[in-house]
Structure 1
Amino acid sequence: MTRVLIADDDHLMRAGLIQLLTTDPDIEIAGETATGREAVERARRLAPELVLMDVRMPDLDGIAATRQLTRTAPDVKILILTTFEQDDYIFGALRAGASGFLLKRARPEELIAAVHAVAAGDALLSPSVTRRVIDRMARQPAPDLADQARLDALTPRERETLELVARGLSNREIAAALVVEESTIRTHVKRILMKLDLRDRIQAVIFAYETGINRPGHTARTAREGSGPA
C-alpha cells in the first residue's frame, strides 16, 4: 500500500485527486493539506511514502517545502504536480530533491502510474519537462570538474552509463546502445547513485551536466564509440 499526502491549496483539486487516487486499491490517502508548511509538518508526523506537492501555495511554496522535507525526512518521496511548466519551477523543484515533476494536464492513468513509480524509488518527468531539462543543461557551458574526486570513483562503463542517463535514455535504451542486458544497466545505475551520493536519476542528470560530463553535441553515438570495459 502506497500512502500519499496531498498538498494543494485548491480545495477542488485536492478533492479530485483524492477521488482519483482512491480508485487504485494500492493507494491510501494519508492526509491532505493546503499549505507548504503544513505539508512539511504532516509529512514528518504521518510518514507517507509520497507527497503529491503543488508549487504555488501560501505560507511556504512547494519548492521550499520540498527542500525542507528532503533534509528532514529523506525517505519521503516527492512528486511535484503543477499547472506551471516554468524553468524556475522545474529546476528549483529538481534541485530541492523532488523525484518527479508532472503537469496537471496529465491523464489520470499517468498520474496513478507516476505515484507508483516515484514511491518505488524511480524518478519521473513528463516528456515535455524531460526535453526542457536536457535542452537547458546542454546549453550551459561546461564548468570545471569541481567534483572530479567523486567522478573518479566511477568505472569507465559506469561513467558511460551516466552520460546516457543524462541524455534521457531509459535502461532498455542504454542496454541496447551498449549491447548488454538491461539488468546490467540497472546495476550500473544503482552503483552510480550510491557512489555519487545521489537520490535518483533526476539528480544524476543534473550532476552530469553541472560537472561537464555531458556537453552540447556530445551524443550517445560518441559515447558508444569510446566505450570501455564494464
Structure 2
Amino acid sequence: MIRVALIDDHPIFRSGVRGLLGETAGIEVVGEASDGRHALDLIQRTLPDVVVMDITMTGMSGLAVARALRDTGSEVHVIFLTVNEDLAFVDEALTAGAQGYVLKRSAGTSLLEAIEAVASGGRYVDAEMRATPAPADRTEAGPPAPHPCEEGGLTGREREVLRHIALGMTMKEVSLTMSISVASVDTYKIRGCKKLGLRSRASIVRYALGQGWLETENRRPASDRPPSLM
C-alpha cells in the first residue's frame, strides 16, 4: 500500500485527485493540507510514502516544503502536480528534492504512474516536459492528456453531470445542484459515459482532470460556486 498525502490550496481540485486515488488499488490517501506550513506538520504526523503537492501556494511554496524535507533528511518522495509548464521549473523542482513533476492537465493519465515510479525509487517527468532531462535512473512519461477542446460531442448537461460526479458528488447532490431529477442525472451520466467510453467513477475523474474541468472550477470566484461544493 502506497501512502499518499495531498497538498494543494484548491479544495475542488484536491477533491478530484482524492477521488481518483481513492478508487485505485494499492494507494491510500492518508491526509490533506492546503498550504506549505500545514503540509510539514501533516507529513510529520502521517509519515506518507509520497507527497503530491502544488508548487505555488499561499504562504510557504511547494519548493520551500521540498527543500525543508530534503534538508531534514526525510525519506518521503515528492511529486509536484502543477499548472506550471515553464521548463526551468522542472530543474528547480528536482534540485529542491522532488522525484516527480506532473502537469495538472495530465493528472488523469500520468499521476498514478508517477506515484508508482517514485514510490519504487525512480523519478517521473511529465511527457509534455520531456525536453528537460530528468537526472534519474528511471525517468518515465505518461501518455498525453486529452486536449481540452476534445469533449466527445457532450451536451452541456452531460458535461455538467460528469463534472459534478468527478468532484465526488452523489447522484442526489448532482440532482439538487442542477435542479433536475435523479433519473435525469442518471440518463445524462449514461449518455456521457457512452460517448466518452468511460466505465467507472475513476475514469470520469481522470477525464475531468485531463480536460481541466476541475481547474476551471478553481478559477471561478468563490461567490459564484455552488455552496454544496465547498
Q: Please state which band the TM-score falls in when normalised by the shorter chain.
A: 0.5 to 0.7
Superposed displacement of residue 41, structure 1? 1.7
2:64 corresponds to: 64
Superposed displacement of residue 107, structure 1? 4.9
Does structure 2 conserve the Cα–Cα contact (< 8 Å) formed by 1:44 and 1:73?
no
The number of aligned residues is 140
Superposed counterparts of 1:147-166, under 5 Å = none
1:26 aligns with 2:20: no
Superposed displacement of residue 169, structure 1? 7.9
Does structure 1 conserve the Cα–Cα contact (< 8 Å) formed by 2:125 and 2:139?
no
Superimposed CA distance per residue, residues 49-86 of structure 1 (whole angstroms, 9 cap, x where no aligned partner):
00001011011000011100122252100001001112
State the identity %: 33
Hey, what's the Cα distance between the residues in 1 that align with 2:92 and 2:114? 20
| Bigger mean CA deviation after superposition, 111-120 or 77-86 | 111-120
| Bigger mean CA deviation after superposition, 59-68 or 82-91 | 82-91
Aligned pair in 2 of structure 1 residues 88, 48: CA closer, same or farther (>3 Å)?
A: same
Unmatched tracts of structure 1, length 5 or more:
135-161, 171-230
Does structure 2 conserve the Cα–Cα contact (< 8 Å) formed by 1:36 and 1:62?
yes
Superposed counterparts of 1:139-218, under 5 Å = none
Superposed displacement of residue 129, structure 1? 1.7
1:35 aligns with 2:10: no
1:94 aligns with 2:94: yes
Higher relative contact order (CA 8 A, sep 6+): 2
Q: Provide TM-score, normalisation by structure 1.
A: 0.56
Hey, what's the Cα distance between the residues in 1 that align with 2:83 and 2:139? 26
Does structure 2 conserve the Cα–Cα contact (< 8 Å) formed by 1:63 and 1:89?
no
Counterpart of 2:75 in 1: which secondary structure?
A: coil
1:3 corresponds to: 3
Hey, what's the Cα distance between the residues in 2 that align with 1:64 and 1:88? 16
Whichever residue aligns with residue 125 of structure 1, its letter is V
Aligned pair in 2 of structure 1 residues 92, 45: CA closer, same or farther (>3 Å)?
A: same
2:118 corresponds to: 118
Superimposed CA distance per residue, residues 86-136 of structure 1 (whole angstroms, 9 cap, x where no aligned partner):
2342222111010010101115242111111111111010123221347xx
Whichever residue aligns with residue 91 of structure 1, its letter is D
Aligned pair in 2 of structure 1 residues 96, 107: CA closer, same or farther (>3 Å)?
A: closer
Unmatched tracts of structure 2, length 5 or more:
141-230
1:50 corresponds to: 50
Counterpart of 1:102 in 2: which secondary structure?
A: strand
Whichever residue aligns with residue 8 of structure 2, its letter is D
Counterpart of 1:131 in 2: which secondary structure?
A: coil
Whichever residue aligns with residue 86 of structure 2, its letter is Q
Superposed displacement of residue 44, structure 1? 1.7
Hey, what's the Cα distance between the residues in 2 that align with 1:112 and 1:6? 13
Does structure 1 conserve the Cα–Cα contact (< 8 Å) formed by 2:7 and 2:53?
yes
Hey, what's the Cα distance between the residues in 2 that align with 1:52 and 1:169? 17
Does structure 2 conserve the Cα–Cα contact (< 8 Å) formed by 1:50 and 1:78?
yes
1:81 aligns with 2:81: yes
Root mean square deviation, CA, Å: 2.2
1:131 corresponds to: 131
Hey, what's the Cα distance between the residues in 1 that align with 2:96 and 2:48? 18
